[in-house]
Structure 1
Amino acid sequence: MTFEPEQLGQSGQELAAMLRDLRKQAGLSGVRLAARCNMSQSKVSRIENGKVRPSLVDVEQILRALDAPPALVTEVTALTRIANTEWQDSRSLRRKGLHTKQFELAGLEASSAEFRFFLLSMITGLLSTPEYIRASLSHVPGDHSKAIAKKLERQEVLYDRSKRFTFILTEQAARSPFLPPDAMAVQLDRLASLTHLPNMRLGVIPLDTRMPGNPLNTFTVYDDRLATVELSTGAMVFRDPRDVRAYLEEFASYEELALFGEEARGKLSEWSNAYRS
């Protein structure tokens, strides 16, 4: 079963209807299915009405309880994976206005408590100076004053002591010259100052570090429930626990290699001084 990118994130109602029809075809009530799955009847009802997005584990439990044939299991599992994945293309975001994405991110930040950012090629807006933010949007035509203002407003979340942040930046992300040398030095100084926040761990990975595997993308994990992965043409959003867990494990492997605290501040100071000289 194949899907086009435009279908990502749009298959939830189709999945709900399919699971409801399969239960009825099996001659089971919602109560009996819930008992077979060791699941509450209210959860089964919310899944079948499209009010709850089931994970792959949920769907596998339901399909086993319904004794679904292998071909049907393959089809429904594929649909579940698609329903838990969303594609956000850059062109659509630009048509809506880049500031609309900032409101979505602010909502995610308000509803999450722990954040993990792996920054491969540039500094994220939460850590950026106003000059860096403007430079990061300079290649996109149009007036981005609303997006810039919202990015700066979102930085207030860093000072919310109820939330925990871990940022890991490669040397390439920290040092790529998006700005003139003096402005880049100020940006690196800002990173160093943020390492003192009690609810933040900011680590750097020097260029000569041997990385595990081959990092391909910048990504963010919100709590243990959602991961966003940035691509050159847009972003993927993963909600299935297995996908999120894979990014948590990848993040942990980079975390083991990163320099934190005084070591991180030492590297950032070295790179800042290099720009000033």
Structure 2
Amino acid sequence: MTLDPDQLGRSKSELAEALRRLRLEAGLTGDRLSARCGISQSKISKIETGRVTPTLVDVELILRALGVSATLLQEVSALARIANTEWQDKRASWRRGVEKRQAELSSLEADATELRYFLPAMITGLLATPEYIRASLSHSPGDKTAVTSRKLERQAVLYDESKSFTFLLTEQAVNWALIPPPAMAVQIDFLASLSHLPAVRIGVIPYGTLLTRGPMNTFTMYDDRLVTMESFTGRMVFRDSRDVLHYREIFAMFEDRALFGDDARVRLREWAGRHRGKPRDL
């Protein structure tokens, strides 16, 4: 299924219109459809007016209650899956203000109890030193001082023992030279120190680890509720339960091959030592 960002914006209204049209063509009132599919009449009304985005399960229950063909069920279900996927354009995010994005992330972190981060390319802000954060913002517009402060404030959530954080980093992510070697060594030492926090698990995947899938992109899971996936031009937000489950399975595969605890800290010390042995201007 190809996801066109413009299509993502239209799909919610198209889905609402399609479900309402199919109900009317079937000659059913909202009450009768509710009785057939087990979804409340008020929720059906909100779905048909676009005030609520139905899950894929909701849509399949409605379509089966309407007795649509297998082909039509597949087509409308595909539209429902798109409706549960959101595209957030990076340039639009910049126009709104990078600090607003930090507030959104803080809200997601506050609402979730189990958070998983797959980091194949770089270290995320929650695990970053101030110097690393400042360097990562070099291509962002606006006041970088305020955003750096906000990112550092967000790190307090790692000390909340009512939550659990699992970070998976490839060797490339840990060692990507965003800052000079001495500062990179400090950054890697910081990762090792955070791995001792009760709520935090930091796993590393060294080069040479046998894996049958490549680390395609960065993604974050918030409970089993939603997944955000990063790209150069923006991010995708997946809310459909099937997409979330797929990402959880991918995460579990990489997690199974990662090193944790003392094994991870041995590698981190080794990698920090490499940076300490490099000239500053490399």
Give the shorter-chain TM-score range. over 0.9
Separation in 2 of the partners of 1:187 and 1:79? 44
Partner of 1:146: 146
Deviation at 1:2, TM superposition (A): 7.6
Indicate yes or no: 2:41 matched with 1:50: no
| Residues 183-217 of structure 1 deviation map (CA, whole Å, 9 limit, x = unaligned) | 11111111101111111111000011122312210
Partner of 1:65: 65
SS at match of 2:134: helix
| Residues 194-243 of structure 1 deviation map (CA, whole Å, 9 limit, x = unaligned) | 11111111100001112231221010111001011111211111110000
Range with greater deviation from structure 2 (30-39 or 181-190): 30-39
| Residues 145-202 of structure 1 deviation map (CA, whole Å, 9 limit, x = unaligned) | 2222211111111111111110000000001111111111111111101111111111
Partner of 1:177: 177
Deviation at 1:17, TM superposition (A): 3.3
The alignment's C-alpha RMSD in Å is 1.9
Do the aligned partners of residues 226 and 150 (structure 1) sit closer, same or farther apart at CA in structure 2, a change above 3 Å counting?
Answer: same
Structure 2 counterpart of 1:164, which letter?
Answer: S
Structure 1 counterpart of 2:159, which letter?
Answer: Y
Structure 1: any 5+ residue segments left out of the alignment? Answer: none
Partner of 1:78: 78
Identity of aligned residues (%): 60
Residues 9 and 82 in structure 1, CA contact (< 8 A), matched pair in contact too? no
Separation in 2 of the partners of 1:178 and 1:59? 46
Range with greater deviation from structure 2 (117-126 or 264-273): 264-273
Structure 2 counterpart of 1:159, which letter?
Answer: Y
Separation in 2 of the partners of 1:9 and 1:101? 20
Partner of 2:11: 11
SS at match of 2:257: coil
Question: Mapping of 1:227-242 within 5 angstroms?
Answer: 227-242=227-242
Separation in 1 of the partners of 2:3 and 2:248? 26
Residues 217 and 229 in structure 1, CA contact (< 8 A), matched pair in contact too? yes
Partner of 2:108: 108
Partner of 2:256: 256
Range with greater deviation from structure 2 (98-107 or 75-84): 75-84
Range with greater deviation from structure 2 (165-174 or 52-61): 52-61
Show structure 1 runs of 4+ deviating over 6 A: none
Residues 175 and 271 in structure 2, CA contact (< 8 A), matched pair in contact too? yes
Partner of 2:280: none
Range with greater deviation from structure 2 (92-101 or 248-257): 92-101
Separation in 2 of the partners of 1:74 and 1:208? 41
Deviation at 1:51, TM superposition (A): 3.6
Separation in 1 of the partners of 2:141 and 2:17? 42
Deviation at 1:70, TM superposition (A): 4.2
SS at match of 1:235: strand
Residues 192 and 265 in structure 1, CA contact (< 8 A), matched pair in contact too? yes
Partner of 2:245: 245
**TM-score, normalised via structure 2 length:** 0.91
Separation in 1 of the partners of 2:147 and 2:33? 48
Question: Mapping of 1:204-223 within 5 angstroms?
Answer: 204-223=204-223
Do the aligned partners of residues 9 and 240 (structure 1) sit closer, same or farther apart at CA in structure 2, a change above 3 Å counting?
Answer: farther
Partner of 2:27: 27
Separation in 2 of the partners of 1:263 and 1:245? 29
**TM-score, normalised via structure 1 length:** 0.93
Do the aligned partners of residues 121 and 267 (structure 1) sit closer, same or farther apart at CA in structure 2, a change above 3 Å counting?
Answer: same
Residues 204 and 258 in structure 1, CA contact (< 8 A), matched pair in contact too? yes
Partner of 1:268: 268
Separation in 2 of the partners of 1:113 and 1:41? 32
Structure 2 counterpart of 1:247, which letter?
Answer: Y
Separation in 2 of the partners of 1:139 and 1:37? 50
SS at match of 1:11: helix
Separation in 1 of the partners of 2:3 and 2:275? 48
